[in-house]
Amino acid sequence: MSQHKFDIIVCGSLHLDIMVDAPHLPRVDETAVGTKWAYKCGGKGGNQAVMSAKLGARTAMIGRVGQDDFGTRLIAHLDRAGVDRREVGTDLAAGSGMSVAIVEKTGDYGAVIVSGSNLAINPQDAGAAFTRLGGAPILILQNEVPEAVNIAVAREAKGTGTRVILNAAPACVLSQELIEFIDILVVNRVEAAMLSGRPVETPEDAMGALSALGHAHRDVIVTLGASGLVVGALGATPHFIPATPVKVISTHGAGDCFVGALGLALAHGAAIEAAAAQASRIAARFVSLSEDACGTVTQIL
């Protein structure tokens, strides 16, 4: 791994999230009364890059923001976390990506995203950016940028022996071209159900879906929130990892926390089962924290 300049390169989305606390998600035609709101820098790619960097990984980001206040906030957030963002471009036409997330008092949430400049990333330039950065043993991708971008970067990375993690979120149909580049597929129960074509609610369901998720060709991890997770390591018997019991403050960003922590453990040489177990503990700590969880979560390592 010493030939690489970074431990992890993340190619993906950057969104400025507007977080709203409310007693429940509004129903159709209802105006729910919230209790507070705040900005939070996010996007699945940005979240994963920040988490891995704050946990100690040498991390770089490939992405795009708009020439606006949201973009300025997103860049500053990457800088504070220590993420190398030289390959985060600024789009002069499209606005920065953003989302509105409503967090219920239970800690569960719903969100709406507007992708903006994330959809304007040039695939060829993104692929070349991986090489310009000097490579990494781990590349992390998600589904919040055009699939052509993911394919271009994955193709470049695979040519250097990099392991490609796809966090297939939001759930969507994946092309065979992209699937062939994936070494590790990470999905939650909703994404697992969509990609496998069968219900996934329990660990037993997740194990039953592994074959349809390509377990014969790659490592597959299905996360189930409080019900734990299932790891299908390539060529091995599926393994169930129970969740760490915690008091949940908010589940927002938990999946991104898990993926960032997973990438760090793998970059440092951990086997997939051990890496998933460590990432699960970190994500559990993350959802139990109310402020700057990325900075505090390192206490459990």
Q: Identify the pLDDT of residue 94.
A: 94
What pLDDT does 194 receive? 96
Q: Note the pLDDT of residue 246.
A: 86
Spatial neighbors of 31 by CB under 8 A, at least 6 apart, are none
Q: What is the per-residue pLDDT for 72?
A: 97
Identify the pLDDT of residue 113: 85
Q: Are strands 229-232 and 184-188 parallel, antiparallel or unpaired?
A: unpaired
**Segment 214-236, tens digit of pLDDT:** 999 999 999 999 999 999 999 89
CB-side neighbour CA atoms (13 Å) of 34: 15
pLDDT of residue 66: 97
The residue ranges of DSSP E strands in the chain, in sequence order, are 8-11, 15-21, 36-42, 59-66, 84-91, 97-103, 109-114, 138-142, 163-167, 184-188, 219-223, 229-232, 239-241
Give the model's confidence band at 299: pLDDT under 50 very low, under 70 low, under 90 confident, else very high. very low
User: Which of 255, 226, 229 minimizes the C-alpha distance to 241?
Assistant: 229
Identify which of 137, 128, 131, 127 has the alpha carbon closest to the alpha carbon of residue 3.
Answer: 137
According to the model, what pLDDT value does residue 191 have?
A: 97
Catalytic one of 68, 91, 205, 256: 256
Helix (H) / strand (E) containing 50: helix 44-54
What was the pLDDT predicted at 292?
46
CA atoms within 13 A on the CB side of 289: 18
Helix axes 272-287 and 254-267, enclosed angle (nearest 10): 140
Q: Residues 70-85: what's their mean pLDDT?
A: 97
Mean pLDDT of the chain: 92
pLDDT value of position 298:
41
Cis peptide before 238 (omega within 30 of 0): no
Q: Residue 15 pLDDT > 90, yes or no?
A: yes
**Measuring CA to CA, how many Å separate 294 from each of 44, 53, 77, 258?**
14, 9, 12, 11
Residues in the chain: 301
What per-residue confidence (pLDDT) applies to 248? 81
* Averaged pLDDT for residues 80-109: 93
**Structural domains in the chain?**
8-14+44-96+119-300 (3.40.1190.20)
Instruction: Characterize 152-185 residue by residue with b for buried, 16 or more Cβ atoms within 10 angstroms of its Cβ, and e for exposed.
Output: bbbbbbbeeebbbbbbbbeeeebeeebeebbbbb
pLDDT given for residue 295 in this prediction: 40
Q: What is the pLDDT of residues 239-271, one digit of tens each?
A: 999 998 888 887 778 899 999 999 999 999 999
Average pLDDT on 12-21 reads 94
Q: What share of the chain in percent tops pLDDT 90?
A: 82
- The reply to whether 84 belongs to the active site is no
Q: How many helices (H) and strands (E) does the chain have?
A: 10, 13
**CA R_g for the chain:** 18
Q: Of all residues in the chain, what percent carry a pLDDT higher than 70?
A: 95
**pLDDT band at residue 276 using 50, 70 and 90 as cut-offs:** very high
DSSP letter at 246 equals -
Report the predicted TM-score, pTM, of the whole model to 2 decimal places.
0.90
What pLDDT is stored for residue 95 in this prediction? 96
pLDDT higher than threshold 80 for residue 149: yes
The pLDDT confidence band at residue 288, using thresholds 50, 70 and 90, is confident
| Residue 107: pLDDT over 80 | no
Residue 301 pLDDT more than 50? Answer: no
Tell me: pLDDT of 293 over 80.
no
Whether 184 and 164 have beta carbons less than 8 Å apart is answered as yes
What tokens appear for 202 in the block? 């329990």
> In which band, very low, low, confident or very high, does the pLDDT at 297 lie, cut at 50, 70 and 90?
very low
